[in-house]
Amino acid sequence: MNVVPQTDDAAAVSPQILVAVDLSTCPEALDPLRQMGHVRYVSDFDQELIESLIPATDAYLGHTDVRVTEGFLAQASRLRVVCTCSTGTDHIDLNALRARDIDLISLTTEYELLDTFTSTAEMAWLLLQACRRRLPRLFARAKEGQIGLEEEQPVPHQLSRQTLGIVGYGRLGKMVAEYGKAFRLRVLACDPYKQIDTPGIEQVDFDTLVRQADVISLHVHLNDETRGMINREVLARTRPGVTLVNVSRGGLVCEEALLEALESGHIAAAGLDVVDNEWDADLRRRPLLEYARTHDNLILTPHVGGGSIESVVDARLFIAQKLADYLAR
């Protein structure tokens, strides 16, 4: 356990601020918070440790590895605000927050800042290309000294002249759509909440996108409307040999249905930076991960799409300052 209490005069001043995110790349993020009260900095994101500290906390800035659940909040009688350096909030029970009148600070609607972060869109494109060219298989063959195409394997398509389907035309969806245009794909986009008039982007409904796309890339928030949106019925309507990319949230995809489609070959490949319920203590034993260990048409990365030095530092500095401004009110 590594807990660093504040040692200056502000230590005796409320509010009590618990910071449980890694600030090793930007320790100056603590400066504005130290001007507002007593800062306890925790560099160990253990659920039990954080829950043991939360009863004496007025403001909590936490890591996505720690779930803010009903049980967590039941111990937080003093808590006024919860902060996260992320756009996604599926690690936080939002209904429980509202019931206790606890405020939430996140990056979800900080569009000006978020527009400077491109790493998640870059990860989507990395996974897309790795899936299309079956990069794990090529890497394994190259390490064995094998050269050239495999006679028994189908020759891959180039991306040019293929169709890319973007589900959710927000910040990241727009970025990936522009990558698609640069690679000379036909680009379809589906977003029922936006009128898309960008040159080179065809706005279609979800069913049309699913039926026509050679690659489907998901860029929507996880909520009651989108949870499980890529299910068995939807996958059955996709084109044979489609590629699925998800850098948003794992809960968008029904993992059982995806595995069936991968095993049958209807889905040629999937690239996922996220899986459902990432806090599962037995995550390694999940069928999705077991399949990935023995097949090269499922590429998984450990939810690091947004993890560039620019986004990590800027997000932490921004949220820390926003929390300080909140406490100054």
Q: What is the pLDDT of residues 169-228, one digit of tens each?
A: 999 999 999 999 999 999 999 999 999 999 999 999 999 999 999 999 999 999 999 999
Report the candidate in 162, 138, 113 with the shortest Cα–Cα distance to residue 311: 113
Q: What is the pLDDT of residues 8-64, one digit of tens each?
A: 444 445 899 999 999 999 999 999 999 999 999 998 888 999 999 999 999 999 999
% of the chain surpassing 90 pLDDT: 87
- Domains 3-110+310-328 and 119-300 belong to one CATH topology: yes
Q: What are phi and psi of 140, to 5 degrees?
A: -60, -40
Q: What is the pLDDT of residues 259-300, one digit of tens each?
A: 999 999 999 999 999 999 998 889 999 999 999 999 999 999
The neighbour count for residue 243, using CB atoms within 10 Å, is 25
Taking phi over 0 as left and psi of -120 to 50 as alpha, with beta for the rest, 60 belongs to beta
Q: Which of the four pLDDT bands, split at 50, 70 and 90, describes residue 162?
A: very high
* DSSP codes, 21-74: S--TT-GGGGHHHHTTSEEEEE----HHHHHHHGGG-SEEEE-TTS-B-HHHHH
Q: Which fold has domain 3-110+310-328?
A: Rossmann fold (3.40.50)
Domain ranges of the chain: 3-110+310-328, 119-300
Q: Residue 244 pairs with which residues in a beta bridge? A: 216, 270
The answer, yes or no, to whether residue 95 has pLDDT greater than 60, is: yes
Largest CA distance in the chain: 72
Which architecture does CATH list for 119-300?
3-Layer(aba) Sandwich (3.40)
Could you give the C-alpha distances from 155 to 125, 162, 188, 274, 304, in angstroms and in order? 21, 15, 25, 29, 30
So what's the pLDDT on residue 45? 85
Q: 3: helix, coil or strand?
A: strand
The answer, yes or no, to whether residue 3 has pLDDT greater than 60, is: no
- Quote the tokens at residue 66: 């720690």
